[in-house]
Structure 1
Amino acid sequence: MRVTKKLLMGSVVATAALVLAACAPSTEAGGDATPAGPAEVTVGVITSESGALAGYGKQYLEGFKAGLDYATDGTNEVDGIAIDVVYKDDGGDPDKAVTAAKELIGDGVNILAGTASSGVALALAEQAAQNKVLYISGPAAADALTGINGYTFRSGRQSAQDVATAGTFLDDLDGKKVTVFAQNTAFGQGNEAAVKAILGAKGATVDSILVAENVTEFTPFATQLLDGDPDLVFVAWAGATSGAMWQALLQQQVLDTIPVVTGLGDAATFGAYGEASEKIQFLNHYFPGANDHDVNATMIDLVTAAGGTPDLFTPDGFNAALMIVHAIQEGKGDVDAMIAALEGYSFEGPKGTTTVRASDHALIQEMYQAKLVADGDTYVPELIAAVPADEVAPAEAE
Structure 2
Amino acid sequence: MLSAAFAAGIAYGGNAGAAPDLKIALIAGKTGILESYARETETGFMMGLEYLTGGKMEINGRKIKVIVKDDQGKPDLGRTLLAEAYDDKVDIAVGTTSSGSALAMLPVAREYRKVLVVEPAVADEITGARWNRYVFRTARNSMQDALAAASTLKSGSVAFLAQDYAFGRDAVKAGKEALAATGSKAKVVHEEYAPVAATDFTAPTQRLFDALKDKPQPRILAIAWAGPNPMNKIADMKPERFGIALAPGGNLLPVMKTWKAYAGTEGTIYYYYGFPRNKMNDWLVAEHMKRFKAPPDMFTAGGMSAAGAVFAALQKVPSADSEQLVAAMEGMSFESPKGTLSFRREDHQALQPMYHFRIRKEQKNEWDLLELVREIPAAELPLPVRNKR
TM-score interval, normalised by the smaller of the two chains? 0.7 to 0.9
Counterpart CA distance in 2 for 1:347 and 1:108 is: 25
Tell me which of 226, 231, 238 is aligned to 1:238.
226
The AA in structure 2 aligned to 1:269 is: V
The AA in structure 2 aligned to 1:285 is: Y
CA shift, 1:312, in A, is 1.2
Tell me the SS of whatever aligns to 1:73: coil
Counterpart CA distance in 2 for 1:144 and 1:272 is: 32
The AA in structure 2 aligned to 1:40 is: D
- Given that residues 48 and 57 in structure 1 are in contact (C-alpha distance below 8 angstroms), is that contact kept between their aligned partners in structure 2? yes
Taking structure 1 as reference, are residues 200 and 180 closer, same or farther at Cα in structure 2, changes over 3 Å only? farther
Tell me which of 312, 317, 331 is aligned to 2:298.
312
Q: Given the two structures, how large is their TM-score scaled by the length of structure 1?
A: 0.83
CA shift, 1:365, in A, is 0.9
Map of 1:132 onto structure 2: 113
Which 10-residue stretch deviates more, 201-210 or 161-170? 201-210
CA offset digits 1:247-288 (Å, max 9, x no partner): 33213222552233221211110233353x226322011111
Map of 1:191 onto structure 2: 171
Tell me which of 343, 357, 360 is aligned to 1:373.
360
Taking structure 1 as reference, are residues 118 and 255 closer, same or farther at Cα in structure 2, changes over 3 Å only? farther
Report how many aligned residue pairs link the two structures. 356
Which 10-residue stretch deviates more, 322-331 or 213-222? 322-331
Tell me which of 147, 150, 160 is aligned to 1:167.
150
Taking structure 1 as reference, are residues 347 and 104 closer, same or farther at Cα in structure 2, changes over 3 Å only? closer
- Given that residues 62 and 303 in structure 1 are in contact (C-alpha distance below 8 angstroms), is that contact kept between their aligned partners in structure 2? no
Tell me which of 74, 97, 109 is aligned to 2:55.
74
Map of 1:14 onto structure 2: none
Structure 2 alignment gaps of length 5 or more:
1-17
CA shift, 1:217, in A, is 0.9
CA offset digits 1:308-358 (Å, max 9, x no partner): 741111221111111112222223211111111111112332112211111
State how 1:355-370 maps to structure 2 within 5 Å.
Answer: 355-370=342-357
Tell me which of 21, 27, 36 is aligned to 1:55.
36
Residue 93 of structure 1 pairs with residue 90 of structure 2: no
Counterpart CA distance in 2 for 1:351 and 1:179 is: 30
State how 1:1-40 maps to structure 2 within 5 Å.
Answer: 39-40=20-21
Counterpart CA distance in 2 for 1:283 and 1:97 is: 30
Map of 2:245 onto structure 1: 259
Tell me which of 378, 382, 392 is aligned to 2:381.
392
Structure 1 alignment gaps of length 5 or more:
1-23, 25-37
The AA in structure 2 aligned to 1:77 is: E
Counterpart CA distance in 1 for 2:378 and 2:270 is: 11
CA offset digits 1:371-397 (Å, max 9, x no partner): 222538967122221111211252122
CA shift, 1:360, in A, is 0.7
CA shift, 1:290, in A, is 0.9
- Given that residues 305 and 335 in structure 2 are in contact (C-alpha distance below 8 angstroms), is that contact kept between their aligned partners in structure 1? no
CA shift, 1:110, in A, is 4.3
Counterpart CA distance in 2 for 1:307 and 1:211 is: 34
Counterpart CA distance in 2 for 1:103 and 1:305 is: 36
Tell me the SS of whatever aligns to 2:298: coil
Residue 294 of structure 1 pairs with residue 279 of structure 2: yes
Tell me which of 322, 325, 334 is aligned to 1:338.
325
Counterpart CA distance in 1 for 2:375 and 2:365 is: 27
CA shift, 1:69, in A, is 0.8
Tell me the SS of whatever aligns to 1:259: strand
Q: Given the two structures, how large is their TM-score scaled by the length of structure 2?
A: 0.85
Counterpart CA distance in 2 for 1:187 and 1:233 is: 18
Tell me the SS of whatever aligns to 1:91: coil
Taking structure 1 as reference, are residues 209 and 200 closer, same or farther at Cα in structure 2, changes over 3 Å only? farther
Tell me which of 310, 314, 320 is aligned to 1:324.
310
CA shift, 1:297, in A, is 0.6
Residue 213 of structure 1 pairs with residue 196 of structure 2: yes
Counterpart CA distance in 1 for 2:109 and 2:269 is: 30
- Given that residues 113 and 320 in structure 1 are in contact (C-alpha distance below 8 angstroms), is that contact kept between their aligned partners in structure 2? yes
Which 10-residue stretch deviates more, 217-226 or 307-316? 307-316
The AA in structure 2 aligned to 1:89 is: D
The AA in structure 2 aligned to 1:220 is: A
Map of 2:7 onto structure 1: none
The AA in structure 2 aligned to 1:301 is: A
Tell me the SS of whatever aligns to 1:119: helix
CA offset digits 1:6-54 (Å, max 9, x no partner): xxxxxxxxxxxxxxxxxx9xxxxxxxxxxxxx62211100012232111
Which structure's relative contact order is higher, taking Cα pairs within 8 Å and 6+ residues apart? 1
Taking structure 1 as reference, are residues 255 and 376 closer, same or farther at Cα in structure 2, changes over 3 Å only? farther
Taking structure 1 as reference, are residues 279 and 306 closer, same or farther at Cα in structure 2, changes over 3 Å only? closer
Map of 1:28 onto structure 2: none
Counterpart CA distance in 2 for 1:70 and 1:186 is: 34
